[in-house]
Copies of this chain bind each other. A is one copy, B any other.
């Protein structure tokens, strides 16, 4: 019988193999269910299975790659598949993939038979430094991201940089946005270090990944259910999520990290105007973001963006609340702004990001 961890265990690099084997030997699951998408099925699952020893009976559940898999329809199919394949309370689920797979798989495992054990193995940089920690999981609903979900920690998270080599460059750069965010909200020196990183050329080091996870973990442990402090992790996400939602309905959707980079650009402007961020520091942020993120700002209707921000889970009804930078390395949650000020920031983004 599985009882969820209040805080999940992290396994790094080749510890993954030995710890996973030890976990299986001690918990004795009767069956292991791997949740993968098309990509991780081909590029990550073989490497994982090759270095694991004997396993109990296994089943592989595959979902389409991309955000669309985080839908109620796919969730229903997966609940049904687990049931038909005889998953029970002694089964173990291993979610192998990016944030879509780990978010979806954690919610699936957390609700099937009122919760079975699961382990997340993030394979994208974004999932390693962000989705892997903090226990948020869930699905999207009618264009609204993570509208249904839980706060629920996996039994363990295994972070192995080898999976990053299977990742397209654009995905790697997308994940880098969250790392930059960690520096901006919590550690000036880390921000400086990352600013110089040639992320276009190669992946970050394991130490850098660990440092980002450490920042996120320490914020989350102080405020698991996001009563206040945890909202600082939302820097760049209020506007970013809205742009991402809109772009998902177009032919050229933004990646999550790209949307967050655009959001950080606009919210750095808000930080400069309303949270005391000095203007030379703001300029430095603009420059770094423009250097690494070459995506065009998508066309958007300002009023639609405002409506999406108001529908954001983190906002009380009818208030526009932002997490803003007071300086590089420190952020404050719950700064309330008027619609006019948000429009100003959206204009600034449109004019200056690609400019």
Binding site for B on A (CB under 8 A): 1, 3, 30-31, 72, 76, 79-80, 83-84, 86, 88-90, 107, 110-115, 136, 138, 141-142, 144, 146-151, 225-228, 311, 313-317
Contacts and interface: CB of A to CB of B under 8 A. Distances in A.
A72 B83 contact: no
A151 B90 CA distance: 17
A83 B141 contact: yes
A88 B317 contact: yes
Nearest to A223: B1
Contacts of A151: 114-115
8 contacts: A30-B316, A79-B147, A83-B142, A114-B136, A114-B313, A115-B151, A115-B225, A150-B150
Contacts of A315: 88
A317 B79 contact: no
Contacts of A72: 76, 79
A150 B114 CA distance: 4
Q: Pick the most buried of A84, A144, A148: most chain B CB atoms within 10 A of its CB.
A: A148
Contacts of A76: 72, 76
Contact of A149 (B31, B107, B114): B114
A317 B80 contact: no
Nearest to A231: B1
A238 to B, nearest CB: 14
Nearest to A136: B114
A150 B111 contact: yes
B147 A90 contact: no
A14 B129 CA distance: 51
A88 B147 contact: no
A311 B113 CA distance: 11
Given A79-B148, A90-B317, 5 more contacts: A30-B317, A83-B142, A84-B142, A90-B316, A114-B146
Q: Considering the complex of A and B, which 8 residue pairs feature the smallest CB-CB distances, nearest first?
A: A1-B227, A114-B149, A113-B313, A30-B317, A72-B76, A111-B148, A3-B225, A114-B151
A147 B111 CA distance: 9
A83 B80 CA distance: 25
Nearest to A228: B1
Contacts of A79: 72, 141, 147-148
B136 A313 contact: no
B141 A80 contact: yes
B83 A313 contact: no
A313 B147 contact: no
A111 B30 CA distance: 28
